[in-house]
Structure 1
Amino acid sequence: MAIRTRQSQRRRQALSRERIIEAAVELLDAAGEGGLTVRALTERLATGSGAIYWHVGTRGELLDAATDTVIAAALAAEPARAPDTPQDEIRVVALGLFDAIAEHQWLATQLAIQLTRSPWGPVTLGIFESIGRQVRALGVPQGNWFTATSALVHYILGATIQNAQIGEDTSVAEPDADRADADRAEFLDAASRAWQELDPGDYPFMRAIADQMREHNDREQFLAGIDLVLTGITHLQPPTGQAHIAE
């Protein structure tokens, strides 16, 4: 009995909250949200369910913790080249989130849940703080900070979540990068052909952009959208102390 007790104590000491969350992220990446069960996690960690609940809590709390961990890492990642301006800093944050959601397919749904149900939680706070500081550095008047920051956050997350879900095959248990790329190309090609076959009298614009939609680069399009939002913010909400001159 004493030997078993000492072994259990060593197992609990070696099992940390961080290790549990790391294993949860691994399961989510491999099999999606449906693959994250307490049973699968205990088998992966060679521990009991009690240790999971002790360190993290319920499955919902574990999902929240996994989301927070991945987003915190994305926001803290150091770029290859130091940003020169607040606009550059916003692009770095935006691309960090874009890449995190592209790498972790399950993250899109969890982010949407966090933002709508827990605007006071660490995920929402971290994203808004990272973008908001740069909006302030742009010189946007304080009365417009929330509106400008919300516009950027909504675009960044909306575009990244939509991008992650295009062509997604939820029937595949373990995501495969080559398969995902092929599915996406097939999806875009099908959509483009459908647009080209629309009635030219009813949808002249959609027919005109069909080839552009098929051939677009997701990251380039995403950054172009960021630049459009930033241009609008700096044009419509000039820095404090500067008069806005209408054109």
Structure 2
Amino acid sequence: MATTRASRSRRTDSLTRERIIAAAVELLDAQGESGLTFRVLTQRLATGAGAIYWHVANKEELLTAATESVLVAALAREVGGSPEEEIRAVALGLFEAIDDHPWLATQLSTELARNPRGTVAPRIFDAVGRRVRALGVPERGWFTASSALVHYVLGAAGQNVANAGAADPGIDRSAFLDSVSAEWEALDADDFPFASAVAGQMRDHDDREQFLAGVDLVLAGITTVHLSGE
């Protein structure tokens, strides 16, 4: 009996908020948001629900904590060079984090839309905005320029994950793109002149290169609007 009590005490003492969040991230990676339940979490951590509720109040708080945990790691990567290079590094860090954790795209959008007072939204804007400021953008343009970059990064990364999820699990990326490209090429060129014309480019594109090219386009726009003539 004493041994059992001691064992339970050790499990309770070793249960930290960090362990709970790490387990939540693992469940989200494996099964998505629907797979993250307190019942499954208690089984994974070999503890009771009460012990988990001591550290997190509910699933919404746990999702926010898991989101911030992954976000902090993504933004912690070493960056250096010009402000443009740093923005590209931050953007790619977010892109890769969303690629590695597909559930993150929805959660980041949710945090920005429903919980802007939390720490997730300002953390993203600070990572981008400090570099926008370093570009020399005047203060009146900080928020607009940073918003354009943030929304492009999250939108493009989220769409990339959505496209991957829409593909048949039994078909690899190249085969999927080839089939979609073939369907676009078969479209009536009078009704879909642009889509049919770029079908071949879709087949051959690299997701990360295309993503970073988009970042460069946004940066070029920011530079043209805010820095020319300054």
The interval holding the TM-score normalised by the smaller chain is over 0.9
Which of the residues 129, 132, 137 maps onto 2:134? 137
Matched positions, count = 230
1-structure distance, mates of 2:161, 2:66: 18
In structure 1, list runs of 5 or more residues that go unmatched: 172-178
Partner of 1:233: 222
Q: Note the C-alpha offset of 1:170.
A: 9.5
Partner of 2:75: 75
The TM-score, its normalising length taken from structure 1, stands at 0.87
Partner of 1:211: 200
Partner of 1:21: 21
Q: Superposition pairs for residues 136-155 of structure 1, below 5 Å?
A: 136-155=133-152
Q: Confirm or deny: 8 A CA contact 1:195 1:210 kept in the other structure.
A: yes
SS in 1 for 2:54: helix
The amino acid that maps onto 1:46 is: A
Q: Note the C-alpha offset of 1:185.
A: 3.2
The amino acid that maps onto 1:56 is: V
Partner of 2:229: 243
SS in 2 for 1:55: coil
Q: Confirm or deny: 8 A CA contact 1:71 1:97 kept in the other structure.
A: yes
2-structure distance, mates of 1:203, 1:147: 33
Partner of 1:124: 121
Which of the residues 154, 166, 173 maps onto 1:184? 173
Q: Confirm or deny: 8 A CA contact 1:114 1:124 kept in the other structure.
A: yes
C-alpha RMSD of the superposition: 2.0
Q: Confirm or deny: 8 A CA contact 1:23 1:41 kept in the other structure.
A: yes
Partner of 1:200: 189
Partner of 1:94: 91
In structure 2, list runs of 5 or more residues that go unmatched: none
2-structure distance, mates of 1:8, 1:57: 22
Q: Note the C-alpha offset of 1:5.
A: 5.1
Q: Confirm or deny: 8 A CA contact 1:166 1:187 kept in the other structure.
A: no
Q: Note the C-alpha offset of 1:141.
A: 0.5
SS in 2 for 1:139: coil
Q: Confirm or deny: 8 A CA contact 1:21 1:66 kept in the other structure.
A: yes
1-structure distance, mates of 2:229, 2:28: 51
